[in-house]
Amino acid sequence: MRTGAEMHALVERLYPLCRSITGDGVRATLDIIGEHIPLARHEVPTGTQVFDWTVPPEWNIRDAYVADADGKRVIDFAESNLHVVGYSVPVAATMTLRELRPHLHTLPDRPSWVPYRTSYYAPAWGFCLTQETLDALPEGSYDVRIDSTLADGHLSYGEHVVPGQVDDEVIVSCHVCHPSLANDNLAGIAVAVSLAQALAAGKPWYTYRFLFMPGTIGAITWLARNQHRIERVKHGVVLACAGDRGDLTYKRSRRGDAEIDRVLEHVLAGRPHRIAEFSPYGYDERQFCSPGFDLGVGSLTRTPYAGYPEYHTSADNPDFVSPAAMADTLAVLREACAILDRNRRYTNLSPFGEPQLGKRGLYDSLGGRSDAKQAQMAMLWVLNLADGDHDLLDVTCRSGLEFDAVSAAATALRDAGLVKE
Amino acid sequence: MRTGAEMHALVERLYPLCRSITGDGVRATLDIIGEHIPLARHEVPTGTQVFDWTVPPEWNIRDAYVADADGKRVIDFAESNLHVVGYSVPVAATMTLRELRPHLHTLPDRPSWVPYRTSYYAPAWGFCLTQETLDALPEGSYDVRIDSTLADGHLSYGEHVVPGQVDDEVIVSCHVCHPSLANDNLAGIAVAVSLAQALAAGKPWYTYRFLFMPGTIGAITWLARNQHRIERVKHGVVLACAGDRGDLTYKRSRRGDAEIDRVLEHVLAGRPHRIAEFSPYGYDERQFCSPGFDLGVGSLTRTPYAGYPEYHTSADNPDFVSPAAMADTLAVLREACAILDRNRRYTNLSPFGEPQLGKRGLYDSLGGRSDAKQAQMAMLWVLNLADGDHDLLDVTCRSGLEFDAVSAAATALRDAGLVKE
Amino acid sequence: MRTGAEMHALVERLYPLCRSITGDGVRATLDIIGEHIPLARHEVPTGTQVFDWTVPPEWNIRDAYVADADGKRVIDFAESNLHVVGYSVPVAATMTLRELRPHLHTLPDRPSWVPYRTSYYAPAWGFCLTQETLDALPEGSYDVRIDSTLADGHLSYGEHVVPGQVDDEVIVSCHVCHPSLANDNLAGIAVAVSLAQALAAGKPWYTYRFLFMPGTIGAITWLARNQHRIERVKHGVVLACAGDRGDLTYKRSRRGDAEIDRVLEHVLAGRPHRIAEFSPYGYDERQFCSPGFDLGVGSLTRTPYAGYPEYHTSADNPDFVSPAAMADTLAVLREACAILDRNRRYTNLSPFGEPQLGKRGLYDSLGGRSDAKQAQMAMLWVLNLADGDHDLLDVTCRSGLEFDAVSAAATALRDAGLVKE
């Protein structure tokens, strides 16, 4: 799965499933992801304590509707899973429109769109519908039915590992708890899958761990179950809203100057983009960057969280995401990984004056010209900053050279025995 | 005393008194301040060594004039105490205008204003007058009389303490050594008195110590007598020129990033204002910020020291200060104290991932909406930055939220057992 | 040698000599420098190991030409030493133009200029000529002759020391390896000689060491032979391109905030100038700033390295450098040395409050005026920042006063026993 079109096809395939933070919709999603990349599946029982939280009952839903006196379904879960408030308790009742109304959610400003609402931790029920539908409902008696279950079960998540040359890890995390919403976050899932496939085609330096988890409770569960090995996580990106037509936005980690921040800012520097400061709201960077962990994890989106009117509405459908935008997001991530994987600190083994590059065939023999070649400049820069304090991205930024040239210079110098990692 | 009008009335009442760095005019000023707020009075004997300085003889003056051959007083201390150079030694002589002239001070560029001059530490005498008066003086013989005394006595200053919940102190310092000058510094005195009254109405966190002292020698005397407890002084403001119609100016402490600097810059950010870097000139911040103390003490003025033509002239009279300006200065100081008093560092007791705010009633149960409430955002920010390194003002600045919202969030989280101070 | 005209005369005298990184041209250059300032001469044998390098064979050349079939010299070393590639091996051959052509170097974009080329470390030979000359050469047979020797000998360099009051050193380094190129670097040599003479006229604080060495291998040789005393080198400037008509450019040391960087930026602040960040290319700052040394050594030029079309061509002749520009470079260096020599850290011996300057005659006795004198302000600033952390240049920058005023204040305070170094 390499092209934007292929990623878009995955978005379309995942779109109809009714996901939530638990339940069979999540499992079906992980099944489909597993068709592309092998997934380690985890099922964490209801009631498990994860830090300050408890894994909630598992929610499943088979049917839900509001029908009028004639039995006609005026709101129907079968048409869109957005119509039911996520985690709604079961309901089977007849009530007047007046009684029903507090349970109905609309977007008055966007009268033809259905909003997305949930109530995970407070028992409640409700329906989401367009303002137009609501306005057209006559007074009268309605049959209200939600055929859902909230019962002991499991929270499900999947992990995919691309093994690297070292055990140090980069995590790429996506939430898989949103139902029929395409940019948030099916596009993120599709780009993550493609990135995993691309990385596996090489032999990356870092071990890359892809996490497909429900938002908040999933990330907290993963962190609670992986505390003992969290020090392996050196860098990470939370990926969401990866397919809309807006410019890319990188939101810095809490640290603000973590290596992942510097890498993504460098990759984005040549494109239209935005850099956002960390805030403890948004996606699961909230958890990775909580003060007890404070990991070097940022978030890459196109238009960020809540920054587009279609956010959390029925208008965030597959048409809202573009194959080209997903391909662009993927390209930036691949470039970032390629830099991250090569971004080391070197020590100059000949630090007193410059070593004689010429006798090693690394320097032009004809002197006097004013056009010092980029490769030679890159070697001089690496040698000069190979003091153990500067990594190759520092050298790149300070020299104004290309990272590739700097990295190639470091390799040539290492091969010549002039620097060591 | 709450209103600008009441503060202005105090300025007018204090205006006629002949103050200097010692003498009965200072005592009379402290008497009047003591009618509004209780003052601890200190009398430090002439000759007392205070660091590198010695408390000088006490100066008092009863009368002074220059009279012409007809006995008509052409310069008369009874009309304005500015007419006599402060600390003038006694004189009783008859002399020609030519002999007198080196002792006469005028402002040629402001021919109708009388300057303010002193000679505290070098025995001298002189008169200040308008250029117009000087120009009109005929040659001839003049009777010159200064009925002053320079004798062993005391340096007087007053302290008023508003007790707080902790012994750590905030000092608010005013100079009380200027004679008939309204903005410099009767307006400062009036605002300080009002601030003390306002703080006493609550129960502040810090202990607030108000210092009414002569400039330089008074501050040095206070510091010399309070060395043993100077570590209690956590913050401070030197208050002067508090009533002219110009914008507020905050001059940073020597440290430049002391907490008081951050607080006042935050409070002023929403208003027209100026921020000035520290310089070792101006008011008694010079002494508090000397390198041996280096206290977190800045200076709040409206138009700063020497920044207005009326400075140190007879034009700095009660008309030059405005009730509204004094009320505005007071309001800023009250807001600054309110922030300073609540600006703590907190530690997150649940730092691994976010704690579950919802189960504590601190978070909306209905999810999916894009308008996260400010109170919730404030709690997330406080939790995220409650690492012992960030104070609430840091949280405020980084989040862009209101300090009040951040402070309320911290209180709610503390009450819920999620953070501790 | 004080005037720009005198410096220009030295440039003209040195211009015809055929210098390289070794050989009699260097020795003749040192002879002439030695007529102005005494030089310690060093001769380092071929084959000496200096860090990663080896001192190369010594190169000398007596004659070289390309002659046509009629015996007419179409390229002649006697006309300009630029015509032969530096370090050319001996050649005596007859060849066609086609065979000769790979050994001919021109500047197609500057058809009337001769380029400067070298091949120090790879055995090679060649001629440099104008494109116009090359274009006019008919096909045919040519007599090619380079009467050079590459043999065991020495690398020569010279040192001149202006003794200071302390053993700590400032180095001023010039390369002396370029043949007939005026701005690069005869102007640098002339300015260095003048600076040495000017410094010797006073008694500087620092010991100033002037280094006249071939580029790269000379600096590396000097560093290798002076490792044991390199910690004495506190500051330094590499001087080159000191005479063109462009603005002065200061290139920062690798540290970027070394004292020499601050001093030169301060001196240049009032003039049109450029500040360049360090890069590991250019002149011998490359060696002094290699990570094993990381000395506080910057580089002063007018138009920097390779920044003018005449660079490394026959157009860099004595007409290209201006007496006024050399005088200006000298003036800036003298001012920088004057600041460097006085830039100390002081400790306030009376740090609690201000000391009483008045009783020491250091402060005006008449108070109240708003025009505090600069001398008094400078004393207050020095006292306030005399905490051992700030040097006088910090005081100058923070106060906005003149360095001379600040330095004079420090001296007055030291003489009064109020501060110590």
Architecture in CATH for domain A345-420: Orthogonal Bundle (1.10)
> Which residues, including other chains, have CB under 8 Å from residue A371's CB and lie 6 or more apart?
none
Query: pLDDT per residue over B226-271, tens digit each?
Result: 999 999 999 999 999 999 999 999 999 999 999 999 999 999 998 9
Distances (CA, A) of A182 to A22, A189, A216: 19, 10, 19
Q: Is the pLDDT of residue B300 over 90?
A: yes
Instruction: Give the chain C residue whose CA is nearest to the CA of A390.
Output: C291
Residue B372 contacts A where some CB pair is shorter than 8 Å? yes
- Of 3.40.640.10, 3.50.30.90, 2.40.30.10, 2.30.30.100, the CATH number of C58-151 is 3.50.30.90
How far is Cα B221 from Cα B177, in angstroms, rounded to an integer? 14
Q: Burial letters for B158-168: b for 16+ Cβ neighbours within 10 Å, e otherwise?
A: bbbbbebeeee
**Hey, are the CB atoms on C353 and B53 less than 8 Å from each other?**
yes
What class has domain B58-150? alpha beta
CA distance A257 to chain C (A): 21
**Hey, are the CB atoms on C124 and A366 less than 8 Å from each other?**
yes
How far is Cα B217 from Cα B209, in angstroms, rounded to an integer? 19
- As averages over each run of 10 residues, the pLDDT of chain A (421 residues) reads 94 98 98 98 98 98 97 97 98 97 98 97 96 96 98 98 98 98 98 98 96 98 97 98 98 98 97 97 97 97 95 98 98 98 97 95 75 86 95 97 95 96 92
- Please tell me the predicted confidence (pLDDT) of residue B270: 87
Q: How many CB atoms lie within 10 A of CB B267?
A: 24
> Which residues, including other chains, have CB under 8 Å from residue B66's CB and lie 6 or more apart?
B73, B74, B75, B100, B127, B142, B143, B144, B145
Which chains would you list as touching C if contact means 3+ CB atom pairs under 8 Å? Answer: A, B
Residue C350 contacts B where some CB pair is shorter than 8 Å? yes
- Where do the H-state alpha helices sit in C144-302? 187-201, 217-225, 259-268, 285-288
Query: pLDDT per residue over B331-340, tens digit each?
Result: 999 999 999 9
- Please tell me the predicted confidence (pLDDT) of residue B36: 98
Edge-to-edge strand ranges of the sheet holding A387-391? A387-391, A345-348, A419-420
- Please tell me the predicted confidence (pLDDT) of residue A371: 60
Q: How many CB atoms lie within 10 A of CB A361?
A: 10
Which chains would you list as touching B if contact means 3+ CB atom pairs under 8 Å? Answer: A, C
What's the angle, vertex CA B145, arms to CA B141 and CA B148, rounded to 5?
165
The closest alpha carbon to C295, from C413, C123, C170, belongs to: C170
Q: Is the pLDDT of residue B368 over 80?
A: no
Q: Are B46 and B55 within 8 A, CB to CB? A: yes
The closest alpha carbon to C290, from A356, B238, A242, A16, belongs to: A356
Question: What is the arithmetic mean of pLDDT over B274-299?
Answer: 97
- Please tell me the predicted confidence (pLDDT) of residue A264: 98
Query: pLDDT per residue over A229-253, tens digit each?
Result: 999 999 999 999 999 999 999 999 9
Q: Is the pLDDT of residue C415 over 70?
A: yes
- Please tell me the predicted confidence (pLDDT) of residue A174: 98
The closest alpha carbon to B181, from B135, B128, B122, belongs to: B128
Of A351, A369, A377, nearest to C292 by CB-CB distance is: A351
SS3 annotation, chain B: CCCHHHHHHHHHHHCCCCCCCCCHHHHHHHHHHHHHCCCEEEEEECCCEECCEECCCEEEEEEEEEECCCCCEEEECCCCHHHECECCCCEEEEEEHHHHHHHEECCCCCCCCCECCECCCCCCCCEECCHHHHHHCCCCEEEEEEEEEEECCEEEEEEEEECCCCCCEEEEEEECCCCCCHHHHHHHHHHHHHHHHHHHHCCCCCEEEEEEECCCHHHHHHHHHCHHHHHHEEEEEEECCCCCCCCEEEECCCCCCCHHHHHHHHHHCCCCEEEECCCCCCCCHHHHCCCCCCCCEEEEECCCCCCCCCCCECCCCHHHCCHHHHHHHHHHHHHHHHHHHHCCEEEECCCCCCCCCHHHCCCCCCECCCCCCHHHHHHHHHHHHCEEEEEHHHHHHHHCCCHHHHHHHHHHHHHCCCEEC
Instruction: Give the chain B residue whose CA is nearest to the CA of A178.
Output: B368
How far is Cα B36 from Cα C241, in angstroms, rounded to an integer? 74
CA distance B331 to chain C (A): 29
Residue A198, CA atoms < 13 Å, CB-side half-sphere: 20
Query: pLDDT per residue over C258-284, tens digit each?
Result: 999 999 999 999 899 999 999 999 999
- The alpha carbon of residue B76 and the mean position of all alpha carbons in its chain are separated, in whole angstroms, by 31
Question: What is the arithmetic mean of pLDDT over B164-168?
Answer: 97
How far is Cα A2 from Cα A193, in angstroms, rounded to an integer? 10
Residue C279 contacts A where some CB pair is shorter than 8 Å? yes
- Please tell me the predicted confidence (pLDDT) of residue A270: 87
Query: pLDDT per residue over C188-221, tens digit each?
Result: 999 999 999 999 999 999 999 999 999 999 999 9
Question: What is the arithmetic mean of pLDDT over B174-203?
Answer: 97
How far is Cα A14 from Cα B95, in angstroms, rounded to an integer? 107
Same CATH fold assignment for domains A4-56+154-342 and A345-420: no
Q: Are C1 and C44 within 8 A, CB to CB? A: no
- Please tell me the predicted confidence (pLDDT) of residue C320: 98
- Please tell me the predicted confidence (pLDDT) of residue C369: 67
Query: pLDDT per residue over C348-384, tens digit each?
Result: 999 999 999 999 988 877 776 666 688 999 999 999 9
Q: Which of A356, A364, A373, A399 to mutate to test the interface with C (most CBs of C within 10 A)?
A: A356
Q: Which two tokens stand for residue A200?
A: 């596996």
Question: What is the arithmetic mean of pLDDT over B277-302?
Answer: 97
Contacts A290 to B, Cβ<8 Å: 348, 351-354, 383-384
Q: Is the pLDDT of residue B84 over 80?
A: yes
Query: pLDDT per residue over C66-115, tens digit each?
Result: 999 999 999 999 999 999 999 999 999 999 999 999 999 999 999 999 99
Q: Which two tokens stand for residue A106?
A: 């609309």
**Hey, are the CB atoms on B368 and A116 less than 8 Å from each other?**
yes
Query: What is the CATH superfamily name and number for domain C4-56+154-342?
Result: Zn peptidases (3.40.630.10)
| Average pLDDT score, chain C | 96
Distances (CA, A) of A161 to A197, A257, C154, C227, C261: 11, 26, 62, 51, 50
CA distance C332 to chain B (A): 29
Distances (CA, A) of C66 to B103, C127, C372: 92, 9, 76
Domain boundaries, chain B: 4-55+154-342, 58-150, 345-420
Residue B257 contacts A where some CB pair is shorter than 8 Å? no
What is the topology classification, in CATH, of domain B4-55+154-342?
A: Aminopeptidase (3.40.630)
**Hey, are the CB atoms on C370 and B115 less than 8 Å from each other?**
no
Strands C273-276 and C233-239: unpaired
**Hey, are the CB atoms on B350 and A116 less than 8 Å from each other?**
no
Higher pLDDT residue, C24 or C270? C24
Distances (CA, A) of C282 to A372, C192, C278: 10, 18, 10
Question: What is the arithmetic mean of pLDDT over C378-404?
Answer: 96
**Hey, are the CB atoms on B118 and C367 less than 8 Å from each other?**
yes
How far is Cα B202 from Cα C62, in angstroms, rounded to an integer? 97
- Please tell me the predicted confidence (pLDDT) of residue B266: 98
Q: How many CB atoms lie within 10 A of CB B35?
A: 11
| Predicted confidence band of residue B364 (pLDDT cuts 50, 70, 90) | confident
Share of chain B above pLDDT 90, in %: 95
- Please tell me the predicted confidence (pLDDT) of residue B279: 96
Question: What is the arithmetic mean of pLDDT over C377-392?
Answer: 96
